[in-house]
Homo-oligomer: A and B are copies of this chain.
Amino acid sequence: MKPTSHGQLTSSRLDATFAALADPTRRAILARLASGEASVAELAEPFAMSQPAISKHLKVLERAGLISSGVDAQRRPRRLEAAPLAEANAWMEKYRQFWEANFERLDAVLEELKTLEATEPTTRRKKK
């Protein structure tokens, strides 16, 4: 794919963060790291997946800045670096009103359904 092209200049961090979070294995790895640093083998243990596959996932997380790597003998313990989540969270905050509104609207709809019957008999709106 061509490099972004259309503008949206500084989005690559968010791209990487959201993309990293889009995989359940990687989210599980982050969950594990939330309870303390762990070696690659330890991180791989719960998964029916080869060690190199886990290493790839770790690389994705690392490139997104969500984890970092230490050195302990042959081990390369990973630890959580949740800072990029702050940016992702900031992005989501802009939409908070919408999903909160949606829940309110759902409540309203449920309330409406108790009291009122069919109002618009298959209204076919024309033009705008």
Contacts and interface: CB of A to CB of B under 8 A. Distances in A.
Given A34-B98, A125-B72, A15 B24 contact: yes
Interface string A91-125: 11011101110110000000000000000000001
Interface size class of A (residues with CB under 8 A): 35 or more
A9 to B, nearest CB: 9
Contacts of A18: 18-19, 21-22
Interface of A: 4-8, 11, 14-15, 18-19, 21-25, 27-28, 30-31, 34, 46-49, 71-73, 80-86, 88-89, 91-92, 94-96, 98-100, 102-103, 125-128
Contacts of A125: 71-72
Contacts of A28: 6, 8
B95 A82 contact: yes
Contacts of A82: 95, 98-99, 102
Given A19-B19, A22-B15, A47-B6, A34 B95 contact: yes
